[in-house]
Amino acid sequence: MSEVSTGPVTVEMIDGVARVTMFGPPVNALGLPLRKALVEALDGIAHDPQATAVLLTGQAKAFSAGADITEFDAAASSPDLRELVAKVEDFPLPVIAAITGVALGGGLELAMAANARIADPEARLGLPEITLGLLPGAGGTGRLPRLVGPARALDMILSGKPVSAAQAHHDGLVDAVFADPAAKDGVRWVAHFALKGDRTRTRDRQEKVEVAHAAPGTVAKLAAVPLHKAKDPYAAQAAVDAITAGIEVSFETGAQLEREKFDERRQSPESAAQRYLFTAERAARKPRNLSTGVGRRVARAGVVGAGTMGSGIAMALAAAGIPVTIVEAEQDALDRGLARIVDNLATSVAHGSRTEAAASSERALIETSLNYGALAAADLVIEAAFEDLQVKKDIFATLERHVRPDAVLASNTSYLNIDVLAAGTAHPERVLGMHFFSPANVMPLVEVVRGAQADAEALATGFELVRRIGKTPVVVGVCHGFVGNRMLEVRSAQAERLLVEGALPGQVDRVLTDFGFRMGPFAMGDMAGLDIGWRNRKAQGLTAPVSDAICKSGRFGQKTGAGFYAYEGRDRQDDRFVAELIEGVSAELGIVRRPICDQEILDRLTFPMINEGARILAEGIADRSGDIDVIWVKGYNWPAYRGGPMWYADQVGLAHVAERLQHYALLTGDESLQPSPLLGQLADDGTTFGGDSR
């Protein structure tokens, strides 16, 4: 076996098969150096008389994570990814991609240009460009449908979600699945393919698209549902347009439209926002106020409370292969919690998002008990009980009598003071907050609350556990509502005031859905249950005149068939009763109602949140404005293509935000709307939360 190394590429000749290995840590992003080295290596092979085929592979963690995202704002450089893909597709010898780890974006596009693909069973393959506000830009919109058919291609491209090797094999994206495909079995497979394999270029394969080709409009029909679900409607439509042209007209026509749409999207504010979030999320993984890498690995976990949150957290832990014991005070609560888990697992199997085997192995990792003694072996316990400080204090006191002295104790509280909880324990150094978002087995965000007395190991243990269960941790300080809920309370207060001043729930909700949220605050409240907020307000001695009046009339939202809206099942209708109730509240408060334009509603729902975000930064509760944006996108579905509240403020201009806040403070007499010192300062300085000067 001879070996030649060209920087990030190694070529080994093994019985006529040239194994080309990419080595561009950390994820084989296809930046210019790697592209150049690949072109050079392929040119060398083309002139090697010994060579009969090429096996193209990467590293264990990644075949390739795609184009180098950091290059997008730089000038194009040759060879670009499309040139590399064309070189592979038109190579004089058979090329087989051996995929380990991930093949994503341009990495998968490169592999799809090969004559065939073999993959490790643990490999994941996907086209996540849409999560960056883009569409595949190196032929993916034309090649993927030709391998897996239009429906699967639309689902993969518009969701951006990767698929397993098994799913890829089932769909026709991968030709064989076996362990370590770049090793000798893979070389043997390639040598066999060189003798007998079908070398039709992917772009020339028509069998999976010929029905749609013969029936224009088919792709549009198939695209309707994934388009509706897509989080970036602009990139999604661009992708559908390119896919449609590539099927209904020709591969080349589609490729040309793909190039045009890609360049348009790459320069769009929506893509800039989502590439910013990609970077902000990775920055949040390297907190400046918490040492990572010093945590203890959690071999066994515990959850106290089998309610919606407790059962969701237990599922998230089990899904990561962590044995977990749920402790409850009463058997029927425990039974209900377990039934919820079993039902969720069955639903995910029915939806195809989990295999039967995975569901049963996760179920097997979940134990239940009425006895805190069952937590004696736990390395970390998450309390997810009723949102009452005394209840939580009692639970922590009981926990300390049963768990190991070094076990980390975390509370899932959504706004209570972690330091008060910690002060009531014998070992406050091991107490922190881990605020999951509902449903905890689905929502990606966890606010890791940095208790003042928590030691570095406890904080790191909690933080690293969140990463291990595949969620996004963001470190936050202790205050009422931490970051997300503190800003949400400000938005909710303005939403209430807008009703009293003249708006109605339907208009307020529509303004936010037009902005890009899935739901507005009132529809969201009806879905969650208005009684929860009502109970919390009463516990804190707070009032919200309209919401309180609606709750007093027994309307708690969907669960009672009426709330801010009337419901037929899940279908909601504006309700004259609510309009009259709101008008009555305005009259009681002596407020003369006025028409309120959509722009004022949008400004008064977003700018006060931004103002609160500035206070949160000034107090050090959040370390970066990007952390706040990651929290709002991952925890509250702020539309990613708008980058998060602080990014949005930077785009709108902080001077404008400050001026509008002053205007609305004068208009409404609500002094809480006055710009905070940090916001005012940045506005005066002409800079942004992100530190850029404007």
Residue numbers of the site for ligand T1G (CB under 6 A)?
26-27, 29, 62, 65-70, 81, 102, 104-106, 109, 128-129, 132, 134, 136-138, 140, 282
3 to 17, 20, 238, 324: CA distances (angstroms): 12, 10, 43, 49
Nearest distance, CB of residue 470 and ligand T1G, angstroms: 9
**Cα four-point dihedral sign 665, 668, 669, 671:** negative
Q: C-alpha angle with apex 515: 509 to 520, nearest 5 degrees? A: 25
The nearer residue to ligand T1G, 129 or 600, going by C-beta atoms, is 129
Beta strands in 62-155 (DSSP E): 62-64, 95-99, 102-104, 116-119, 124-126
Radius of gyration of the chain (CA): 28
The nearer residue to ligand T1G, 129 or 629, going by C-beta atoms, is 129
Nearest distance, CB of residue 125 and ligand T1G, angstroms: 11
List strands edge to edge, sheet with 431-436.
366-369, 324-327, 301-304, 380-383, 408-411, 431-436, 445-449, 472-476
Nearest distance, CB of residue 480 and ligand T1G, angstroms: 32
Which of 400, 316, 434 shows the shortest CA–CA distance to 366?
316
For residue 129, indicate whether it is catalytic: yes
The nearer residue to ligand T1G, 136 or 428, going by C-beta atoms, is 136
The nearer residue to ligand T1G, 254 or 428, going by C-beta atoms, is 254
Calpha distance 368→396 (Å, rounded): 18
The nearer residue to ligand T1G, 62 or 395, going by C-beta atoms, is 62
- Half-sphere exposure of residue 220: CA atoms within 13 angstroms, side-chain side: 6
Nearest distance, CB of residue 632 and ligand T1G, angstroms: 20
With CB atoms as reference, the residue minimizing the distance to ligand T1G is 105
Nearest distance, CB of residue 114 and ligand T1G, angstroms: 16
The nearer residue to ligand T1G, 280 or 616, going by C-beta atoms, is 280
Nearest distance, CB of residue 644 and ligand T1G, angstroms: 18
The nearer residue to ligand T1G, 27 or 326, going by C-beta atoms, is 27
Q: Indicate which residue of 129, 270, 464, 489 is catalytic.
A: 129
The nearer residue to ligand T1G, 129 or 612, going by C-beta atoms, is 129
For residue 3, indicate whether it is catalytic: no
Nearest distance, CB of residue 474 and ligand T1G, angstroms: 14
The nearer residue to ligand T1G, 44 or 121, going by C-beta atoms, is 121
Calpha distance 526→532 (Å, rounded): 10
How do strand 380-383 and strand 408-411 relate by DSSP bridges?
A: parallel
Whether 462 contacts 448, CB under 8 Å: yes
Contacts (Cβ under 8 Å, ≥6 apart) of 144 = 112, 127, 136, 153, 156, 157, 173
Calpha distance 357→471 (Å, rounded): 22
Nearest distance, CB of residue 25 and ligand T1G, angstroms: 9
The nearer residue to ligand T1G, 126 or 675, going by C-beta atoms, is 126
Conformation bin of residue 643: beta by default, left when phi > 0, alpha when psi is -120 to 50: left
Whether 198 contacts 279, CB under 8 Å: no
Nearest distance, CB of residue 28 and ligand T1G, angstroms: 9
Two structure tokens written together for 332 = 């029927």
Burial of 483 (0-12, 13-18, 19+ CB in 10 A): buried
The nearer residue to ligand T1G, 69 or 655, going by C-beta atoms, is 69
The H or E element spanning position 521 is helix 521-528
644 to 275, 512, 693: CA distances (angstroms): 12, 14, 19
Q: Indicate which residue of 12, 71, 109, 447 is catalytic.
A: 109
Whether 269 contacts 348, CB under 8 Å: no
The H or E element spanning position 306 is none
Contacts (Cβ under 8 Å, ≥6 apart) of 350 = none
Terminal C-alpha separation, the chain: 59
Q: Mapped to the 3 state alphabet, what secondary structure does 587-644 carry?
A: HHCCCCCCCCCHHHHHHHHHHHHHHHHHHHHHCCCCCCHHHHHHHHHHHHCCCHHHCC
Whether 436 contacts 408, CB under 8 Å: no
Two structure tokens written together for 561 = 């068939």
Nearest distance, CB of residue 65 and ligand T1G, angstroms: 4
State the amino acid at position 637 in one-letter form. Answer: N
Nearest distance, CB of residue 127 and ligand T1G, angstroms: 7
Give the residue numbers marked as catalytic: 109, 129
